[in-house]
Structure formats: C-alpha cells, structure tokens
Amino acid sequence: MTDTSIRPRVLAVIPARGGSKGLPGKNIRPLMGKPLLAHSVALAALLGDSVRCIVSTDDETIAETARAAGAEVPFLRPAELASDTAPMSVVLRHALAAMEEIDSVAYDMVLLLDPTSPTRTPERVREAIDALVATPELDGVVAVSEPFFNPTWVGVRPETDGPGLVRYFEEGTGVVRRQDVPRYMRINGSFYVWRADFIRRLETSWFDEGRHGFVEIPETHAFSIDDEHEFRLVEAVVGAGLAPLPGYQPDNAPGAAATEPAK
C-alpha cells in the first residue's frame, strides 16, 4: 500500500497568457474585488508547503499583477507558447522543465489551476493529489461534475439530409425515463493533477495518452470563464453564496463561499 503521509513535491502552474480574444484582459479583470488570477493564487497558498505555485505568462502586465497578488513569475513564457493554437501539454512541459532547472529539483506532480475556473476548494484539490499518491496505476486525477441534464437522454442533432432531429447518442434509443439512463459526468476543468513523468512524455491529448481517476465536485462549482456572460454568471453565483471562492465571503451568506457545503 502506498504511504499517503509522504507528501509529493507538486508544481502548481497557473497559465495566464495575454492574448485572450473571447474576453480580452480576463486573467487580470477584477472578480469580487481581486484580479481573476489572484483567486487561483489564493487557492494554491492553502495547499501547503509541498506545493510550489508559479504563474506562466507571456505578458509583463499580467506578470506584475500576479506578483502583486503574491504569486511567483520566475520566467516569461515564449511567444510561440502563448498563441491560440499552443497546446496546454507544451505549456506545462515548458513550465516543468524551467522550474526543475531553476529549483534544481525533480518534481513529482504537476497541478494545473486555470485562472478561468476560480470556484474551487483546497479540500477537493488535496483530495485529487492524495488520490494520485494512493493509486500508482493512474497518470492523473481530474475534476468532474454531473451536469444538470443528461445528454444520453436529451441529446439530439439535425438530420444529415432532412429537416428533423435524431438522437445524438444511440444509447438513448428506446429510453422513456431519465431515471433509466446511465449516470453522465463531464470533465469541467476546475483542476488537474498529473505525475511529472507523464507531463514529460505527454504529446498532445492527456485523456487519450494516459489513465485518469477523478474527484467529483458539484456542478454549481464547475465554472470556466470564456466570455462576458460567464464572467457575470460567476459573479452572481459567488455573490449569492452558491459557489466557493478562496478568501471571499459574501455579506448575505456568512461563511458559505469559503468552505465546502455540508455533506
């Protein structure tokens, strides 16, 4: 049995490039009084001394904002790794290699904390790290959630050569009650943790190239901000105390956003 009391050396990477087109400047746009990326920095600070957190950016303004939020920005990301087409696998591999050279250590795991998914709790991230420690056959552990609808039951698409609709998933054929379809979960992007060796050899698609476990979080915590509508939605949900945000406590729901809901 793996000894989970031995803490792995974890490199947490917050990627924050400067060229967002869906919502320009989103990584440093204020959310509940702090730049968006600052909430991921605050989350990482709650994970303990075994987690070393850095921000990977190509933009000096973002770097200055990150440092003001307490983050480390040991390097600026090369421009070719900050384009719309640059895969995250390459960004993570670059960050890992750079930090292992800077720190003169070999990291055990890489934790990806996208700043556009700020509604996380440290308890769930620690759970993912612990699960990876305890399960040697896994390459990574990712956050999943159950959507408010099951696409096996309601998923449709236009007919290829007609005006009607057909089922998107054949598994839904003949099913007349939603209770009869298998449970459906989605990868929501809230957090990912991988073994460093996996990141070193990763080519393109982490899901297709490795074996992964999961930590389930509520769908009401599973946001990813890509446009103005989603930004305002997160503001509203966090402000109402319905989703967590490290360090933020809504006036109308004392303590509600700082911790996990009771189970």
Residue 182 CB coordination number (10 Å): 9
Q: Say whether both 227 and 99 belong to one domain.
A: yes
Q: Say whether both 91 and 175 belong to one domain.
A: no
Q: Say whether both 77 and 159 belong to one domain.
A: no
Count structural domains, the chain: 2
DSSP 204: S
Q: Say whether both 15 and 45 belong to one domain.
A: yes
CA dihedral (154, 157, 159, 160) positive or negative: negative
pLDDT at 5: 59
Query: 59 lies in a domain?
Result: yes
Strands 140-145 and 212-216 come out as: parallel
What H or E segment, with its residue span, contains residue 61?
Answer: helix 60-68
pLDDT at 262: 38
pLDDT at 263: 39
pLDDT at 110: 98
Domain, as residue range, for 60: 10-145+186-239
Q: Say whether both 30 and 135 belong to one domain.
A: yes
CA distances from 2 to 8, 77, 193, 194 (A): 12, 36, 17, 17
CATH number at residue 105: 3.90.550.10
**CB-based contacts of 41: which residues, under 8 Å, 6+ apart?**
14, 53, 55, 66, 69, 70, 71
Query: 69 lies in a domain?
Result: yes
Q: Say whether both 177 and 217 belong to one domain.
A: no
Q: Say whether both 109 and 18 belong to one domain.
A: yes
- Residue by residue, pLDDT tens for the chain (263 residues) are 445 457 899 999 999 998 777 788 999 999 999 999 999 999 999 999 999 999 999 999 999 999 999 999 999 999 888 887 888 999 999 999 999 999 999 999 999 999 999 999 999 999 999 999 999 999 999 999 999 999 998 999 999 999 999 999 998 888 888 888 889 999 999 999 999 999 999 988 999 999 999 999 999 999 999 999 999 999 999 999 999 998 787 665 544 444 444 33
CA dihedral (41, 47, 50, 51) positive or negative: negative
Query: 204 lies in a domain?
Result: yes
pLDDT tens column, 181-196: 889 999 999 999 999 9
Q: Say whether both 76 and 117 belong to one domain.
A: yes
pLDDT at 252: 53
Q: Say whether both 230 and 106 belong to one domain.
A: yes
Note whether 96 and 222 are within 8 A (CB).
no
